[in-house]
């Protein structure tokens, strides 16, 4: 399916060009299906992009391919809401993997704000945000994100275990702060 997303813009141009040629040589009735095909390809390319393909590459650990696919999306603001949320999710995860924590945090928060529907992905986002805020010693925000992670109805045991570990670490930090203030 990756090949389709790479040639979709070219198919759109091809359909439009052949439609224009047929329009002038034969008439609009012959060219209309090609115009509609080009319009359909353009609209689906702009509204859906290659988000699911990039997400699959990210989940399989092919970070370079996921990044390449995301770069092919020229107008992310035109994506449907769910696709735009996953666009920011993938951007955030890639930024974190490249140790660009601030961009990662911004993109993951944007993904949450727009709305991620899958509970496991939402839990993964909140867990990563908790980790980022914990690294910055912003314990209240980290604690809030850990609570959100634990409330997500996910079956992913690794996420749940990491969330419990972070929760313990936060409680230890809070108890240390109380002890040092007394």
Position 35 pLDDT exceeds 70: yes
Query: What's the confidence (pLDDT) of residue 7?
Result: 72
pLDDT of residue 42: 82
What's the domain range around 3? 1-48
Distance between CA atoms of 129 and 127, rounded to whole angstroms?
5
Kindly state whether residues 35 and 88 are assigned to the same domain.
no
Specify whether 153 is located in the same domain as 174. yes
Q: What is the pLDDT of residues 3-26, one digit of tens each?
A: 656 677 788 889 889 999 989 999
Q: Are residues 66 and 100 in the same domain?
A: yes
Are both 71 and 137 inside the same structural domain? yes
What is the pLDDT, as a whole number, of residue 181? 76
Domain count for the chain: 2
Instruction: State whether the Cα torsion 175-157-135-51 is positive or negative.
Output: negative
Does residue 34 sit in the same domain as residue 110? no
For residue 182, the model assigns a pLDDT of 65
Kindly give, in sequence order, each residue whose CB lies less than 8 Å from that of residue 19, ignoring residues fewer than 6 positions away: 31, 32, 34, 35, 38
pLDDT in tens, 121-171: 999 999 999 999 999 989 899 999 999 999 999 888 999 999 999 999 989
Q: Is the pLDDT of residue 1 over 60?
A: no
Can you give the pLDDT at residue 36?
92
Whether residues 163 and 91 fall in one domain:
yes
> Are 77 and 126 part of one and the same domain?
yes
Of the three residues 9, 24, 48, the one that is the final residue of a domain is 48
Same domain, 37 and 54: no
Using the CB atoms, write b or e for 28-60: b if 16+ within 10 Å.
Answer: eeebeebbebbeebbeebeebbbbebbbbbbee
Sign, CA torsion 157/159/165/168:
negative
39 and 56 housed in the same domain: no
Question: How open is the CA angle 111-117-118, to the nearest 5 degrees?
Answer: 105
Same domain flag for 17 and 94: no
pLDDT, position 128: 94
Residue 134, H or E segment: helix 119-135
Question: For residue 137, what is the domain's CATH number?
Answer: 1.25.40.10
- What percent of the chain clears pLDDT 70, i.e. is strictly above it? 96
The predicted model scores a pTM of 0.81
**pLDDT over 90, % of the chain:** 56
pLDDT higher than 60, residue 69: yes
- What is the C-alpha to C-alpha distance for residues 11 and 57, in angstroms, rounded to an integer? 24
Q: Average model confidence (pLDDT) for the chain?
A: 89
Residues 21 and 55 in one domain: no
- Helix/strand/coil for 154: coil
With 90 as the cut, is the pLDDT of residue 117 above it? no
Closest CA to 55 of 112, 126, 2, 130: 2
Mean pLDDT of the 44-65 span: 87
- pLDDT for the residue 62: 92
Please report the pLDDT score of residue 6 as a whole number.
66
Q: What DSSP assignment string belongs to 13-82?
A: HHHHHHHHHHHHHT-HHHHHHHHHHHHHHHHHHHHHTTHHHHHHHHHTT-HHHHHHHHHT-S-GGGS-HH
CA–CA distance, 143 with 166 (Å, rounded to integer): 9
Identify whether residues 3 and 15 lie together within a single domain. Answer: yes
């Amino acid at each position: 399916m990756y090949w389709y997303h790479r040639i979709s813009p070219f198919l759109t141009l091809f359909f439009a060009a052949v439609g224009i040629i047929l329009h002038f040589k034969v008439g609009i009735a012959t060219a209309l299906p090609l115009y509609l095909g080009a319009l359909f390809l353009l609209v689906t390319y702009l509204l859906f992009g290659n988000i699911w393909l990039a997400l699959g590459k990210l989940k399989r650990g092919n970070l370079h391919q996921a990044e390449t696919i995301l770069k092919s999306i020229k107008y992310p603001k035109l994506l449907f809401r769910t696709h735009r949320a996953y666009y920011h999710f993938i951007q955030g995860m890639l930024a974190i993997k490249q140790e660009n924590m601030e961009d990662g945090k911004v993109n993951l928060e944007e993904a949450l704000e727009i709305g991620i529907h899958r509970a496991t992905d939402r839990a993964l986002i909140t867990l990563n945000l908790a980790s980022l805020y914990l690294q910055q010693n912003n314990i209240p925000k980290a604690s809030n994100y850990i609570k959100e992670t634990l409330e997500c109805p996910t079956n992913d045991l690794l996420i749940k275990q990491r969330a419990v570990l972070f929760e313990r670490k936060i409680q230890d930090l809070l108890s240390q702060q109380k002890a040092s203030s007394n």
